[in-house]
Structure 1
Amino acid sequence: MEKLVRDRIPIIMRDAGVQAAVRYVDQNDKLPWLYSKLREEADELEAASTLDECADVFEVLRAIAAALGYSLDELVSAADSKREVRGGFRDGCILTVDI
């Protein structure tokens, strides 16, 4: 099994006496790994709605934004702009559309 992990995980594992093979994905091939990790972390957040799980999702999203060439400030600014124009998700508004 292969999965994307945080940068310091191999060091932490080695220090704990656990041996694992490590390889580094080429920067041009990183996005599919990040998208997969985002799904994994979102599932974990759904199962255990903790601040730590929220932070994991946020960290992966931050990495995706960086891989796409956006800074954290740009990401937050874009989210704030969309919230100002279209609203956020605070109210839990569910839309039903007849097709």
Structure 2
Amino acid sequence: MHQEYNKLVRDRIPEIIHQAGRECKVQVMTEAAYHQALRDKLIEEAQEAAEATAQDLVKELADLYEVIDSLCAACQIERSSILAEQEKRRSERGGFDQRFRLLWTQ
């Protein structure tokens, strides 16, 4: 059965598909298309992490980290820059430790 995907997949997915006795077609994206595909994949993986069961959460967060690492590499962003910005934002705006839910403002 033919099924369309048109999305970024991990490097070994075509190999895994072929090993399963199935066929697939892949295309190498341009740099701009790759950057956009990574951003799209970021949303996809974040949604999967948001909907994950407790036992699948680690796997889904690992997938999310993989996309983040790939996006950082593609955009030449150092992890240390992200961690420094995270610390700055935590210092300025706080973390989520107090579990506040904002109900309203006026």
TM-score, shorter chain, exceeding 0.5:
yes
TM-superposition CA deviations, 1:8-50 (whole Å, max 9, x none): 2112222222211011111232222112111111111122141
SS at 1:5 equivalent: coil
Amino acid at match of 1:97: T
Distance 1:47 1:34, change over 3 A: same
Question: Structure 2 length normalisation: TM-score?
Answer: 0.76
Q: Which residue of structure 1 aligns with residue 23 of structure 2?
A: 19
- For structure 1, which runs of at least 5 residues remain unmatched after alignment? none
Q: Distance in 1 between matches of 2:16 and 2:79?
A: 26
Q: Which residue of structure 2 aligns with residue 29 of structure 1?
A: 33
TM-superposition CA deviations, 1:40-94 (whole Å, max 9, x none): 1111112214100011111112222222220223222322332233322232223
Question: Structure 1 length normalisation: TM-score?
Answer: 0.81
Amino acid at match of 1:34: L
Larger Rg: 2
Amino acid at match of 2:105: V
- For structure 2, which runs of at least 5 residues remain unmatched after alignment? none
Q: Distance in 2 between matches of 1:80 and 1:66?
A: 21
Q: Which residue of structure 2 aligns with residue 84 of structure 1?
A: 91
Q: Which residue of structure 1 aligns with residue 100 of structure 2?
A: 93
Identity %: 34
CA RMSD of aligned residues (A): 1.8
